[in-house]
Structure 1
């Protein structure tokens, strides 16, 4: 059985997907690399097949009708045979030395029959066109180089959200918890990393700069203009996040606090884009989003409002909306996506 399965969702990726594949191939026979061609219209499938022919024991190619990023991840997970599971987007890549260290940790866990649900490593914003990098690490928030539980975690800074790029889950956990991402929907990476958290009992933080998150490709889903155009999909993901767990019933205070804080971040991002648009329709959608949370879970709504961001995002005056936008431009630097 393979140690680590990595799914690479590919859509019209033929011109750049090789970088992700080549860095993962350095993991050798411990790796299962699943290339999911999501109905590409370029030579993505041909490139994937060529890699499969060259590395038949490591690379598998799956072709499907276009279902979006989430459905490609679903396909990768359904077909994963490795003990652990990771998603690497086709325009990103991993650091080879960090990969070796991660495989060593996972191998040790298996050899010692230790139960590990989630491994966390650092990720790096790679702004290649600007020649800049920003490392997101979890020092202070997570114990290093040991198995720990949610009760052992510390304070998460605003920049230390655990995201899809920083996690490797135990494959069986993802399958048993019933994780299925919606098709034809962007921003489902938030669901991927958020939904399984209540099922995670044991974690391990390896302080290495593993995942390289490429920023700056034209048409990229995290481009601000693209995000504003796809605001309805963001709102859909927000509602799925609200619905997937009753956070007020989580017994572990630190896990509950982290998940509420993550929800606040999600609501804040969507609210800011709606306020920046400023149209009557967008402001109505902002109000509908917060009303949805209030009607779904009144206790959670009040808990979210204890956060400054949670309360301030609902300011309705013109001055209040200006404050929201100014605060957003400041927080962009804190979160590291600018």
Structure 2
């Protein structure tokens, strides 16, 4: 039977969480239109054995795929290569799907033919649950993707995206090997080939936060600055070297600015070494070189390079409390003028110095 949806699960040392992930796809019901590829990325624990157990129990639906370790991007690439479903989604092994939502999505996919479908997702941190949904006015309407403003969709992220598989296969979409944060590339490169779009009011992805070692934890971000820079560099040259139509350019530029924002915050708030400050100087030049990017960065309140470079040159050391304050400030999206912000920072610095 032809598969409607392929879900790939990049997996590395997730033996404790993989059963929950797989159970969310097959219990209480399991669709014959579903293909689940568990991409074991060289795990050293029992992840592969668990995947094979589910494969034997759900023959024709779940398949265990073993490969050498190559990090997240290589696992996604293998999934794209092997996928047979008409549509394609990613599910991280430490997360899970809302089973009811998945069933509704599969039913919807049988009756539509678009390049990109956006569904809702939820971020869970303990008892705290935050929902990311498409604007109500856009639900259920098929749009020409040229006319879609992705910045108006809070759920535009890997967790909300379903691509038509042919978009990924026919255009040789490949993520970088050996680095983290390549889910940003998954949101970026296929957009050049998307023509039609629909948003559905279905909760599918349940994104779990708070696990030690997650790439979204600040300790992992600090260690992965080099990965962010590789992603930024590739996007920068893509934007510079291709003659991209303006409406698509704006979408890609937005994603480019988002990953820059993450990199800037990580360095400025938590690892303001002289080496990293020099690196930010390079990234800043790239931002200046992409039309409109600087205005976006300023608008998002993520562009404090001038202030912090001056601060580092004077103090010659990282001020952890000051950076933490800045991180919380920008994460909340508080818009302060530079004059007010500098005054706040100077007061904090003065108070710290006096202790």
Return the TM-score normalized by structure 1.
0.87
Match of 2:184 in 1: 190
- Label 1:291 to 1:310 Cα distance change in 2 as closer, same or farther (>3 A): farther
Match of 2:156 in 1: 162
Task: Count the aligned residue pairs.
Answer: 320
Of the two, which has the highest radius of gyration? 2
1:123-178 CA distance string (max 9 Å, x none)? 111112xx1100111216x7111211234435735x82621111010111101121
SS across alignment from 2:237: helix
How much does 1:24 deviate?
1.3
SS across alignment from 1:28: coil
- Name the CA distance, whole Å, in 2 between partners of 1:275 and 1:29: 49
Match of 1:56 in 2: 59
Question: Which aligned pairs between 1:212-227 and structure 2 lie closer than 5 A?
Answer: 212-227=206-221
Q: Please say if residues 33 and 60 of structure 1, whose CA atoms lie closer than 8 Å, have aligned partners that are also in contact.
A: yes
Match of 1:112 in 2: none
- Label 1:173 to 1:248 Cα distance change in 2 as closer, same or farther (>3 A): closer
SS across alignment from 2:103: helix
* Displaced runs of 4 or more, over 6 A: 319-325
Question: Which aligned pairs between 1:103-142 and structure 2 lie closer than 5 A?
Answer: 103-109=106-112, 115-128=113-126, 131-139=127-135
Q: Please say if residues 268 and 310 of structure 1, whose CA atoms lie closer than 8 Å, have aligned partners that are also in contact.
A: no
1:68-123 CA distance string (max 9 Å, x none)? 111111111111011111110000011112112211211012xxxxx310110111
- Name the CA distance, whole Å, in 2 between partners of 1:58 and 1:334: 43
- Label 1:146 to 1:161 Cα distance change in 2 as closer, same or farther (>3 A): closer
1:22-42 CA distance string (max 9 Å, x none)? 111234101000011111111
Match of 1:274 in 2: 267
- Label 1:197 to 1:327 Cα distance change in 2 as closer, same or farther (>3 A): farther
How much does 1:246 deviate?
4.2
Unpaired segments ≥5 residues, structure 2: 335-355
- Name the CA distance, whole Å, in 1 between partners of 2:258 and 2:304: 11
**1:73 paired residue among 70, 73, 76:** 76
1:176-223 CA distance string (max 9 Å, x none)? 121111111100000011111121110110122210111011111110
Question: Which aligned pairs between 1:249-260 and structure 2 lie closer than 5 A?
Answer: 249-253=243-247, 255-260=248-253
- Label 1:3 to 1:324 Cα distance change in 2 as closer, same or farther (>3 A): same
- Name the CA distance, whole Å, in 2 between partners of 1:104 and 1:29: 12
- Name the CA distance, whole Å, in 1 between partners of 2:20 and 2:194: 31
Q: Please say if residues 127 and 133 of structure 1, whose CA atoms lie closer than 8 Å, have aligned partners that are also in contact.
A: yes
- Label 1:127 to 1:232 Cα distance change in 2 as closer, same or farther (>3 A): same
SS across alignment from 2:110: helix
Match of 2:238 in 1: 244
Unpaired segments ≥5 residues, structure 1: 110-114
SS across alignment from 1:210: strand
